[in-house]
Amino acid sequence: MSLIASTPANNSLLSSGMESERTLYPYVTGTSVIGIKYKDGILMAADMGGSYGSTLRYKSVERLKSIGKHSLLGASGEISDFQEILRYLDELILYDNMWDDGNSLGPKEVHNYLTRVMYNRRNKFNPLWNSLVLGGVKNGQKYLGMVSMIGVHFEDNHVATGFGNHLARPILRDEWHENMSFEDAVKLLEKCMRVLLYRDRSAINKLQIAKITEEEVTISQPYSLKTFWGYSAFQNPTKGAEGSW
């Protein structure tokens, strides 16, 4: 007897390994996603680049999506696998709405569902090649978590994927605080995205910032950051390095 409830979302999940080709290696990928809590809700930032190997092939890939009434999802990694995850979530939200009982899935429930999906696929040796950031607000409670492609997951006040784990989170640990205003939180995210733009070859200067509060979800229009490329380290990056060309 199956221990997994028979829902449309789960049925498609359990059969997906037979219907689709395995992702043996990612082809078109997106880079870092950063998420933080602020005074009124959750903010996320991601650029819009889609890299085909080391080639920046696509420059208008949206990687921030609203999920149901209370959740916001950001993804790095394989874009086609992210689209598959969105199909799973569409079925999950539809199934939840069909009950018409006045309740709706909150961000914690959606995050738990994603951890099971990612771990399930990992155990089939057919992983969804993504790292996901899931945030939201329900009943006044802010929630922010992430899950990796093998099902590793946690909650925190700020999270990041990809290079953001190494380059952005040290900045967030130093400068983030719980009662940040919307304006200060956006400035902090932009600072992190600017550092990633300087240091991550897959990042592009075209990003979106998404906001979710108790009342609404808003995803900004794409925009660019002001940058300065005249630093001496950029002019002569191998100066003083042993064995440099």
- Residue 7 annotated among the catalytic residues of the structure: no
Encoded tokens for 92 = 């999950």
Q: Quick check: helix, strand or coil at residue 136?
A: strand
Query: What is the 8-class DSSP label of residue 221?
Result: P
Mutual orientation of helices 79-98 and 8-19 as an angle, nearest 10°? 150
Strand partners, 132: 75, 147
What DSSP element (H or E) covers 66? strand 64-67
Q: How many CB atoms lie within 10 A of CB 235?
A: 9
State the catalytic residue, choosing from 23, 31, 115, 161: 23
Euclidean distance between the first and the last CA atom of the chain, given in angstroms as a whole number? 64
Q: Under a CB-based contact definition with an 8 Å cutoff, are residues 209 and 186 in contact?
A: yes
Encoded tokens for 151 = 């099902």
**From residue 98, how far is each of 105, 117, 218 by CA, in Å?**
12, 21, 25
CA 157/CA 178 separation, integer angstroms: 8
Q: Which residues form the catalytic set?
A: 23
